[in-house]
A and B are shown apart, each in its own frame.
Chain A
């Protein structure tokens, strides 16, 4: 399903936009082929005119959001290499978020800028709330999983809203969530599991539900 074209686009994108002193492998833990594939797929389904500019801007922002999650919560003063990677992860995240802003400004896509800012704000608010969620209760499991889904899929939802693809959203939403949240090594799911192991059952239930609904939809 995930095509070779998306893989090539990912490679070309990194080559074009990475800072010369940053290795390509630095992007291995972030920007998956699936993320590229879905941005491409949603834009291709839309009537939106400046697909390429918006596509690039969104990829930049997704990298920025994801790479910032990789920074250790506390630095270990002994591990010099890890510290340098942490520093670069902060900076490379900022670098790509500045590209997001720059591309949209250069192409005068200000409506797009203001639309996606709402989503970026809310993703960061959710991350902050998840990070400081010390006590997790069973009744909150679903709410928390929905929040993790927004963290990973927020920009995609926002794109569907911007392009007024509400009908298409119903077709693609479950696939998006399954592939971009539950089929990856999600930092946020791991964080919740580390704080409340019982949430793992809720995650399994969610995966089963998604699988069933995707099969039903395909029929």
Chain B
């Protein structure tokens, strides 16, 4: 498994990231600590810290500082997840009850807000304000994306442009920030920083499109949620956009579902139809195109060990099944 070799390469640092994540809320009020620990110890792929660590190896190493950036990126991601769980009324995350389920919405919201403030505090030793400019812009775009996702829920009038804009804000920018902030924190050349930033962006776009494909092609067991959840929740993703364009039955089915009208196909039939349509392949090709762009960017980076692992991660993400 290629991800495993990349993980092995940064394993020691990832362990330090894990340790720091656990310590980040130590010695604070007991409720904040319980709720944060509940959230932070649930695990995860730690994709963002891995990108920070690998990108940082293109520059000068100040390992303690780099670890702080890696932790900060993961914490921002987790703070957004705990709020997402409130918004989506989610009951389970990674096999554990969500904070809102275990306690209530208020606890989840204040935990997220606290973690956000704690994250910014972690970056205090950095005097380079570009690090903050990049992160703050990303967080802001993430929030705009979330508001627009709610606005567009169950709205049929969407297109490829709105979809790409949405996934850029939702996923790609945070991965882009991970590689760019790793580069800034290790003071790489500006040219290397921008290449790493582009790599992160393209990987993030490819990753999210794959996620949207897997929402149709995986099983409920693999996903931990019903197949076609995005569509069931009113979100139009790339496979649905292609399928609606190619197949009037899909268009009619989605339209009827969104408008709560009768139709001869149920939404489950529509999901089945999308799953077995060319829309999946078309979406996959777009995902691959972003991956190719990421690889082209990689080629321009200096030849070193971390570059090989960035390539491995790209390949792993393109082939992942869930």
Interface of A with B (CB < 8 Å)? 19, 21-22, 64-65, 68-69, 71-75, 77, 83-84, 86-88, 90-95, 97-99, 101-102, 104-106, 108, 110, 113-114, 117, 120-121, 124-125, 127-129, 131-132
Contacts and interface: CB of A to CB of B under 8 A. Distances in A.
Given A68-B113, A71-B106, A125-B28, A113 B132 contact: yes
Contacts of A86: 86, 105
Contacts of B121: 114, 117, 121
A21 B118 contact: no
A54 to B, nearest CB: 15
Interface of B: 28-29, 31-32, 35, 80, 83, 86-87, 89, 104-107, 109-114, 116-118, 120-121, 124, 127, 129, 132-133, 135-137, 139-140, 142-144, 146-148, 150-151
B148 A21 contact: yes
B64 to A, nearest CB: 18
A117 B107 CA distance: 19
A95 B32 contact: no
A72 B32 CA distance: 19
9 contacts: A21-B147, A71-B86, A88-B150, A101-B132, A102-B139, A105-B133, A106-B133, A125-B29, A129-B31
A101 B89 contact: no
Contacts, number: 130
Contact of B111 (A64, A113, A128): A128
Given A68-B113, A102-B137, A75 B105 contact: yes
A114 B124 contact: yes
Contact of B150 (A73, A74, A87, A114): A87
B113 A124 contact: yes
Contacts of A98: 136, 139-140, 142-143
B181 to A, nearest CB: 13
A98 B79 CA distance: 12
Which of B32, B107, B120, B146 is packed against the most chain A CB atoms within 10 Å? B120
Nearest to B83: A90
Contacts of A90: 83, 86-87, 109
Q: Please give me the 6 A-B residue pairs with the lowest Cβ-Cβ distance, nearest first.
A: A105-B132, A98-B140, A102-B136, A124-B114, A105-B136, A95-B143
A64 to B, nearest CB: 8
Contacts of B87: 87, 90-91
A124 B31 contact: no
A93 B143 CA distance: 9
Contact of B110 (A88, A94, A128): A128
A114 B117 CA distance: 9
B29 A113 contact: no
Contacts of B124: 114
Given A90-B86, A98-B139, A125-B114, A73 B132 contact: no
A87 B233 CA distance: 14
Given A72-B105, A128-B32, 11 more contacts: A68-B109, A87-B86, A88-B150, A91-B83, A97-B113, A128-B35, A128-B107, A128-B111, A129-B29, A131-B107, A132-B31
A128 B31 contact: yes
B147 A19 contact: yes
A48 to B, nearest CB: 19
Contacts of A110: 127, 129, 132
A22 B147 contact: yes
Given A74-B105, A121-B117, A91 B136 contact: no
A132 B136 CA distance: 31
Contacts of B137: 102, 105
A73 B106 contact: yes
Contacts of A120: 113, 117
B105 A101 contact: no
A109 to B, nearest CB: 9
